[in-house]
Structure 1
């Protein structure tokens, strides 16, 4: 009887832990909706959104162990077209697949490199959506958590990012525009970089639980704005907790 009670609570704990991880992954993706809404409020047209998840795939003794991990990943990830890139310093395998509409691109990358006489491996799952289709994004968001659970074994870190353009002549300077976007998230600035044609602000908002601890303070939001020259568009990028794509 006592063993049954212990087993019952162990199962409850595992289910709760799994649900917490799933909820966290869903929240990481749906932050894109918050960033899209902020862009809408400030007249920025979203051109691309992306989600970047990475995690350790553990250690393996040799190349054969890496190949076994690669084979298991291929079996779990259906519909990908794979390419192997073996370099002197590390082993790398990458697979790509597209949604039926062709607007969402998924890429899985498995990398192994020497560490302490073994091969350390890590996995990256990168998703990119061109333009904006709310229905397609929501469909992807619903499946994202199960895909992460399928591809990854342990802890993961997820980064979300949106990129857009402001085609009209901006009434305010780049820095003021970045501050206005930041206040949309009720965020406070942590670090900033100001140049004539480029501005970047790192900030912290209490609305999101995840954060990165820098040398100064915690941050979980980054905004970058670049002026692309006379008569050109203004590029706006928003990322959480940081921007992973090029500005």
Structure 2
């Protein structure tokens, strides 16, 4: 279990580096890729158990005064959120949470020290366990409005879903990987393959954002598949343009 988690975290860390190398968004207004990802998984008889929208931007806070000013500004902009402050030896976090019927909205200001240097990030996340197609337009409008308040530029939105397939066939990981790539109309760019773990990076013209790898290849979707024992479910995580959650 630890082996697969380590492999997955290594993949995530490498790919997160690509975000800072460069990215571009095809559309100026936000439209969620979640419906496409969810419908693809469900069309293959997969059960989606959680979905997430995530983005972050580096912010420059050179002093405690600028940090305090930023936290006050966030509290003023989003007064309906429940705000908490946590500080430890190497980091401090100011977090606002708003819980709705179908999702949880989180804003986080995080500062951390690495090798004597301070780095600060403004993080926005929306997550839920149940998807409602009828509320997609309202969700898109809400996210667009929040991003306009939070960020100076249009950031990349990382969309992720996770769940499981209940197939009990031989070579199930290879089978599910090929089915997902076909349904997403995605072409494999690179992959990490083990007996009971697959991680695949690919490109699909059906998705709204993309990254450029160091090899100058375009990618905008990652698929993680893990088999956890004989006859067990196949767990999946699908993310665009990359997966940002621990798996």
Report if TM-score (shorter chain) is over 0.5: yes
Give the corresponding residue for 2:93: 92
Deviation at 1:245, TM superposition (A): 1.2
- 1:47–1:88: structure 2 CA closer, same or farther, 3 Å change rule? same
Give the corresponding residue for 2:10: none
CA distance in 1, matches of 2:117, 2:201: 37
Mean alpha-carbon deviation: is it higher for 72-81 or for 119-128? 119-128
Preserved CA contact (<8 Å) 1:175 1:194: no
- 1:121–1:155: structure 2 CA closer, same or farther, 3 Å change rule? farther
CA distance in 2, matches of 1:62, 1:89: 15
Which of residues 12, 37, 43 is equivalent to 2:39?
A: 37
Give the corresponding residue for 1:231: 231
TM-score, normalised with respect to structure 2: 0.80
Q: Deviations over 1:180-238 (max 9, x none)?
A: 21122221111111111111110012233522222332211111111122232211211
Preserved CA contact (<8 Å) 1:61 1:118: no
TM-score, normalised with respect to structure 1: 0.80
Q: Deviations over 1:96-116 (max 9, x none)?
A: 1111x2x3111111023469x
Aligned ranges 1:1-247 → 2 under 5 Å: 24-27=28-31, 29=32, 31-57=33-59, 59-99=60-100, 101=101, 103-113=102-112, 120-170=119-169, 173-216=172-215, 217-247=217-247
Deviation at 1:149, TM superposition (A): 0.6
The alignment of Structure 1 onto Structure 2 pairs a total of residues equal to 222
Preserved CA contact (<8 Å) 1:55 1:155: no
CA root-mean-square deviation: 2.5
Larger Rg: 1
Mean alpha-carbon deviation: is it higher for 81-90 or for 33-42? 81-90
